[in-house]
Every structure is written in C-alpha cells, then in structure tokens.
Amino acid sequence: MISGFSIPVLAVGIFAYAFYQFIYYPLWASPLSKIPGPRLFAISKWRLALEDWRGKRTLVIRDLHAQYGPVVRTGPSEVSFASLSALRTIYGAGSGFERTSFYRMFDVYGHQNLFTYASVRDHAQRKKLLAHAYAKSTVLRADGLANDLIARNVRSYLDILDSENRDHSGSEHDIFESLHWFSLDTITGFLYGYSHGGTNALRGNKEDQRMLTDILDPARRKLSWVTVHIGKRYVQWLYSRTGLTERIVMALGLLPMTKPATYTAIRAHALQSYKQFETDTERADGSAAGSGHGKAALDWSTDLSILGVLHNQRLRSLADLKGKDSKTIVQGLGLASELADHFLAGIDTTSDASMFAIWALSRPENAAYQQRLVKEVTETIDAIPEALDSHGNPTSEASDRLPFLDAVLRETLRLYAPLPASEPRTMPNKDVMVDGFQIPAGTVVSMDPYTLHRNQDVFPQPLVFRPERWLGESPALGDPVEMKRWFWAFSSGARMCIGMHLAMAEMTMLLSAIYRTYDTRLNKKQGDASPGITSRFEVFSDDTSPRVLDHQCWIDFQRR
C-alpha cells in the first residue's frame, strides 16, 4: 500500500524523469543539442510528423535550412544536411551509412530487395547481379530489349496522338495519364519480357490501364503517413481484417485508404507474372527430361528481361554450387520481391519527369526553348546516318546525342525531381563527424534533392526554368561543373538509382520523337496551373504557379 507521503514523491519522480528525458536531455545534454534548429522539433519527432501530415515536410525543411544554415536538427535523433561535404560523407561510396527502417515499408511479399536492404554488404551483393542489365551500354544497345521496348512504346504513344490529330487541327490530351501508360508498358516489358507480364496499356488494354488506379488515388499519401508514423504492422493488421472485424474497421473509418490499397494491383500482377514464368520454366524442364534430351524445350539464355537475367544467374549459381543453397542466389519470393520493387519504382518516376518536361516546354514563357529543341531534334537527327528506327522515330543512340534535350531534362529533374524528399540514412554502430558536428550512432541523417537543387549560390534564379544553365552559356546562371556536383535527382554513391539509364533513354527517345513531329502548348483546362504529383506524403508542383491540378496535365498537340 502506498502511503500518502510516497504518492507526491512518486509524482515528482515521474515528472523529473519526464522532464529530463523529453526536455533537458534533447535540448541541453544530447550531443545533437549543439546543432541549430527549432526547439519544438528537437524535443519531439511528432513535430516533423505533423508537417508530413500537412504535406509540407520538404518545404519546411528547405525553409529551416534557409533560416539556420546547412545543418539543421529536425528531431530528437534526426538531422538534415544541405552541403556538398555532407553529401560525400553520408552518401559517398564506402561511407558506411546504411538505410534506415523507413525503407522496410517497401518490402514486397515479406521479402527485402535492392531498395530496402539496410546493410552495405547485402545491397552490394544484390546490385552486382543486376548492374550489367541496367548499364547504359546495355540499355542503348540497338539489338537490346530496352531499346526495342522503348521504340515500340514511343510508336504506340505517337499513334495515340496521331489518332487525335487526323485533321491537323490539334487536340487536348491529359499526358499525366498517358505517360503513366508509357512507363508502365516499358518497365513491365523490361522486367518480365513480352510474354511473362509485359503490359499493353498504350495499346488500349483496359485491365492494364486500371492497374494504375490505386497508385493515382490521393489517399495513398495518408496510407504512407500511417505506415511510417504508426507502423507497418498496424497497417497490415487493418487490411487483413475480414468479417465482423472488417466491418467495424470500415465503420470507424480506420482504413487510411479504401481497398484496394496502394500498389495492390501492381503487386498482384507482378506476382502472377513471376509465377507464370516459374510454371513455364518447370514445364519446359519437365518436357526436356521426359523426352530424354539434355536441353530444355525453352532456352532462357537469350531472354534479356531482368527476370530472364536473374533466372540464368540462378541456374549458373546452382550448377556451380552443385545444388547447395546460397544467399547470393535470388529465387522464390525473393526474386519476385526484387522484380516487384523495380516495377513500382519504374512507373511514377519516369512518367512524372517526362510530364514536367513537356509542361515546362509548353508554357508561353518557354516558347523559345521549345523552338530550340525542335530545331535541334530535326537538324541533328537528319544529319546522323541511320538515326531513325524502323518506326521512323529517333533511335536511343541518336537521342542520346542531343545536348539541348539533355539540358532540358537536367533542368526538369532539378526543379521537378520525381523523388524530391529526404533520403534517410544512419550509422548503426559508431559515432561520426559530419560537417563539424558529432553525430551519435543510430541518429537519422538525411538530405533531399528539393533543397539541394534550390541553392541559389549554385543555381542562380533557382525557381526559374533555364535549361541553358547546363550548357555554360551564361556565367550568371551558374557553373555547369559545380551544378553537376550538386545535381542529385538520382541520388549518388553505391545507392544511386540503378534504373537511371533506362529512365533517361525513355525520356530522350519519347521527347525527341514528340518534338520532331509536334508543337505543344498548354490547354485551356490547364491554364496557369502546375501539374501536381505524389511523393510519399506530399504533393509537389511548380513553386511559382498560382494553382495546382493534382494528377492532371492538359496539353494541346499540334502536328506540324
């Protein structure tokens, strides 16, 4: 029994402990207390979580850097950086920093993949298996799968535009939707091949087009917030409820996003594609064994899809190990998870960047840039022997030789990076010095492209679309060499986006083909509004536009 005297003593003790733990330690005793930043952010992780809920996290972090400098404390155990030295220290090759538990929300089928591996060793082993398939030389190969896929999809995209411009009177077109079809058909074909999961959204397949419905639902932002800040297990529990429990969950409005949740259709398609491949492989091997022949009926050695590449590596590894298993062999649901992750990563990113490039070129104030691009595409392509593919559009190699187009895309990715938010890292087992501050082991550190790309000392007129800055045509617009050091649209170091060359090939081939044939301008539905895209919890758009059209971009195409 607690005496009357001990109750106030206990209360004082609890208060003292809480004061030390949540006020005194983070503000005065923590090694991070020397780092500038708002005190409310320093004492509670929920202050930044509130900005996540509001969809303002990245903008707020940019403003904090503008106020406090290149190092800002954004949580009790979280620090944001915005300097080139920190970029090298945290994200450079061999830094030792690992991805945080945040990335585990992107596990698929209960398995980790290249994107979610925390340790440097696990990530390096997996990347080694995939690097050659994503290399620029592989992507641009004239007889390669990527080149053939993109050329085929560019032709299908132009077919859509041509069908709407039969009388040359022009047409209005929502490129947000059609560019998602383009990136969907390209990434599925690249991952699974034409016969084991490649989609045909551009060619009118309604089921393939509907696959994108759940990722375009704005409610996915709320689902992401709950997954990160409440917990992945809680979300999994909510969505696994059936019967009476499900009805109660629905009645109480506890689901962050109505079923199907984000990526449901995509993950189902990815799993079915993998299973069909495995079934065909087993059937082929069984047929070969039954016929007495030593070679399988289906020869996967010429399959250039990522699925084919990983399958061939699996066969070689198992043969070398004489049937013994190894962590270096990707198989089963681990293989399916890897492919599904690439699937998810290859849709929004490429389509959103392509959309912003076309939107920016279509703005009245950028008409001169569009004319310059049209001139470059037509004159350069005409001067290159064998510059056109069998569909009559610029090849990947020819499109890669257009310096102004490259400048347009770099400036697009600077202003409208498809993944502009923080990329968290941690040093799990030791303290480290970053920009002169001691960062204790386990502290979450991060940087974001949005803030880096708006550093006015590196990018003068940072909010203005000026592609010529990348060509060094005006010293007043910055030094191209220095700007490239700060350019972070694809991350850097060992964790740099493995699909970078595929994405660039998609964008250069599509834009060179469009502007070789069409002029574009903003449709009246778009008016002065910027298109808006979803990234995690936030909507990103052009900083200078007075309005935003979420998940829409209306463009008029006029055939020349």
Question: Left (φ > 0), alpha (ψ -120 to 50) or beta: where does 109 sit?
Answer: left
- Partner residues linked to 437 by β-bridges: 434
- Please give the single-letter amino acid code of residue 337: S
405 touches 411 (CB < 8 A) = no
Among residues 387, 390, 419, the alpha carbon closest in space to that of 400 is found at 387
Cis-peptide, bond into residue 449, ω within 30° of zero: no
Q: Which residues contact 63 (CB under 8 A, 6 or more apart)?
A: none
In angstroms, the CA 485 to CA 478 distance is 12
Distance CA 194, CA 185 (A): 10
Residue 288 confidence (pLDDT): 43
Identify the pLDDT of residue 469.
98
Tens place of pLDDT per residue across the chain (560 aa): 555 558 888 888 888 888 888 898 999 999 999 999 999 999 999 999 999 999 999 999 999 999 999 999 999 999 999 999 999 999 998 899 999 999 998 899 988 999 999 988 899 989 988 999 999 999 998 888 999 999 999 999 999 999 987 665 667 899 999 999 999 999 999 999 988 899 999 999 999 999 999 888 888 999 999 999 999 999 999 998 989 999 998 999 999 998 878 788 999 999 999 898 888 887 766 554 444 333 333 444 456 789 888 888 777 765 565 544 455 667 788 889 999 999 999 999 999 999 999 999 999 999 999 999 999 999 998 888 789 998 889 999 999 999 999 999 999 999 999 999 999 999 999 999 999 999 999 999 999 999 999 999 999 999 999 999 999 999 999 999 999 999 999 999 999 999 999 999 999 999 999 999 999 999 999 999 999 999 989 999 999 999 999 999 999 999 98
pLDDT of residue 168: 58
Torsion angle in degrees (nearest 10) through CA of 77, 80, 84, 85: -20
Q: What residue numbers does the annotated binding site for heme cover?
A: 497
Residue 311 CA to residue 486 CA, distance in Å, equals 38
- Give the whole-angstrom CA distance, residue 291 versus residue 67: 74
- Give bridge partners of residue 538 from the DSSP assignment: 535
Residues 6+ apart with CB under 8 A from 132: 138, 309
**Residue 57 near residue 421, CB atoms below 8 Å:** yes
Q: Which of 424, 453, 421 is nearest to 538 (CA)?
A: 421
How far from chain centre, in Å, is Cα 504? 13
> What is the pLDDT, as a whole number, of residue 293?
38
Give the model's pLDDT for residue 318.
59
What is the pLDDT at residue 530? 98
**Torsion angle, CA of 170/212/488/130, rounded to 10 degrees?**
-120
Residue type, 91: Y
Binding-site residues, in ranges, read 497
